[in-house]
Amino acid sequence: MLNSKFDINSPEWIERVFENRNKSYGAYDLRKHYALNLFKAFAITIVSIAVIVLVTSLLMDKVPASVNIKKGAVSVTDKQLKIKLDDAKPEIDKKSKILAPATVHGHNNIVEQVLDSRAVEIKPMPVGGVEAWVKFLENNLRYPPEAKQQRITGSVLMSFIVERDGHISNILVSRPAGHGFDQEALRVLKLSPIWAAGMQGGQTVRVKYILPINFNIEHR
């Protein structure tokens, strides 16, 4: 009786089976090299799977990623800031064209007064003219971020005095607009360059100006 634990693929068993037989027959060769052939088949299978995975991975890397483009997206830039200067026409006080009079003794008792810009012979003028003044405002004014984000527009009415030496003082918000517009207008007017002073009777005088500044966002 055969031992149940005997390995039928062992060399001893194969030699016993093919004893006194033609060992050049294919069955003997297959039996003898069964383990080696099985290992080769397993190795080839593993290598094939690895190659397939590698090639697939390389091909996936070459496929461009899809890009989602949101339609209707709008980007608001500083270039869309549009500042309008309404010819700087002052408001006229119907009761008096002379504002905040003050008397200074000396110099032949010349009365230093704050005059309305419409009441002087020669009005104050920004050095370089109106174009230079507009350029100064455009280069320095910044649209308040919150207002720009919410696409809010506004108009601020500012007032200031052009002093006899050409610098501006008493910068005030005459009509606020909120949303950061007032603070921005104040900030920039404090940076104002020197003006050419107003003239009255051949002498420099103090002149009050009222200046509207409009903040608008262009619609493209």
Length of the chain: 220
Of the listed ranges 3-12, 45-54, 196-205, the least confidently predicted one is: 3-12
Structure-token match 């051949």, residue found: 202
Domain extent listing, the chain: 11-62, 78-217
pLDDT (0 to 100) of residue 50: 60
Which is more confident, 1 or 147?
147
Q: What is the pLDDT of residues 4-15, one digit of tens each?
A: 555 555 566 556
Distance CA 42, CA 39 (A): 5
Tokens of 58: 């390389």
On the question of pLDDT at 86 being above 70, the answer is no
Q: What is the pLDDT of residues 26-35, one digit of tens each?
A: 554 555 555 5
Listed in sequence order, the residues at least 6 apart from 121 whose beta carbon sits closer than 8 Å to its beta carbon are 199, 200, 201
Beta-bridge partner residues of 158: 173, 211
Section 74-81 average pLDDT: 35
Mean pLDDT (the chain, rounded): 69
Cβ atoms 76, 144 nearer than 8 A:
no
Is the pTM value of this prediction over 0.75? Answer: no
Of these ranges, 51-60, 72-81, 109-118, 207-216, the one predicted with the greatest mean pLDDT is 207-216
pLDDT (0 to 100) of residue 64: 37
pLDDT bracket for residue 204 (50, 70, 90): very high
pLDDT bracket for residue 138 (50, 70, 90): confident
CB atoms within 10 A of CB 168: 19
